[in-house]
Amino acid sequence: MVAKKPQRNLSGHVSKVKLNVLDKSGVLWVGSLEHTGTFLSSLCTPLIMDSGEPLCLLYRFYIYAIHGYMCEIPFTAVFDFFASDRDWRLRGVSSVWAPFIYGVAMLGVEYMYVLLRLQCGLLVRSIVYTLWCYLCEFSSGWILRCFGACPWDYSHYKYNYKGLVTLEYAPLWFISCILLEKFLIWHTLQLRL
């Protein structure tokens, strides 16, 4: 808990203190504590929150789904640019299934962040997140392949498994998970309605 400098009234007693409180889930609450000058009244005065309700699951899913989708398109454009014949049209590709997959995967990372942020360091959490990404990619790819709808195929990579995942992307997933936690998830959990 971090308190700003208290405001003092003419008699020298503290009248109001602004507080920033970080709760267990990593959500920052901003509020104020009224104080009339006596110890007893400060114990009976509640913390008044200035912020609204956190975003519901559906809104957070939407943010994560759109973010994943909008990151995949430039990634595939740049990757194909360097991997192939330097096509300056930078045609990024994705699938209509991608937002759902990214939304579910990132909600899983968010849940793990809330559970693990006080128990594990960033390195361990990022390894767990990366394994989760591989699990999501493999399982969603396997389900989509059953219907002939899997939009990716990593069969041409040396370290692929059934063409659904490849170890060549592990460093990218690892770095992406760090950025995901530090920027997108942290800020999304701070948003209020």
**Measured between alpha carbons, how far is 74 from 95 in angstroms, rounded to an integer?**
13
Q: pLDDT for 81-131, tens place per residue?
A: 998 878 898 889 899 999 999 999 999 999 999 999 999 999 999 999 999
Check residue 18 and give its pLDDT.
Answer: 53
Residue 44 has pLDDT above 80, yes or no: no
| Amino acid present at 57 | L
Backbone angles phi, psi at 22, to 5 degrees: -100, 115
Q: pLDDT for 141-158, tens place per residue?
A: 999 999 999 999 999 999
Using alpha carbons only, what angle is made at residue 15 by residues 10 and 16, rounded to the nearest 5 degrees?
140
Longest CA pairwise span in the chain (Å): 77
Check residue 66 and give its pLDDT.
Answer: 97
Check residue 115 and give its pLDDT.
Answer: 96
Number of other CB atoms surrounding residue 65 within 10 Å: 20
Residue 171, both tokens: 């460093």
